[in-house]
Each structure stands twice: as C-alpha cells, then as structure tokens.
Amino acid sequence: MIFRQILLINVFLIKKNIYMILCLYVDDIMILYSNIQVINITKSFLSGNFNMMNLGPANVILGVKLLKNNNDFALT
C-alpha cells in the first residue's frame, strides 16, 4: 500500500476522490475509512513499522462520547 500525502499531514488519498483519515492525538491514532478491509491492511502496515495495540472501536474521543447504532453515530 502506498500513501500519498495531500492537503493535511493525516489525510491520505487512496484512489481518486477516496480518502483515508488518520487522526493522531499524542499516542493515539484513529483510522477513518468506509471499508474495514482497507482499515485492517492499514493497521497491519502500521503495526509492522510501529509498536501498536489495537483498542478496538472508539467509544470516547477527546472526552466526547460516541454512540453508535446500526447506521448512525451521535456525539454526546
């Protein structure tokens, strides 16, 4: 997988008009993308280069709770 840096340090172009967002905060990273297979490939690539732990889906981001049902997210 080749990442090309665009616009911001943590936004990567995957294909034309398709982007992956890597949110970095201190020692945490959150990967945003619509395809779980691409997320797993990215996690595998990163863990091969960095010491990482998978904490699973995010429940809280910067003190904001994330609520999820089948198709929607809510911030509280």
Indicate the pLDDT class of residue 1, thresholds 50, 70 and 90.
low
* Run of H or E residues at 44: helix 36-49
- Biggest CA–CA distance in the chain, Å, is 36
pLDDT surpassing 70 at residue 5: no
pLDDT surpassing 50 at residue 9: no
pTM over 0.75: no
Q: Return mean pLDDT, the chain.
A: 77
Indicate the pLDDT class of residue 76, thresholds 50, 70 and 90.
confident
pLDDT digits (tens, 9 = 90+) for 22-36: 877 777 788 888 888
> Which has the closest alpha carbon to 18: 67, 29, 64, 3?
3
Sheet containing 64-68, strands listed edge to edge, beginning at the edge strand earlier in sequence:
60-61, 64-68, 73-75
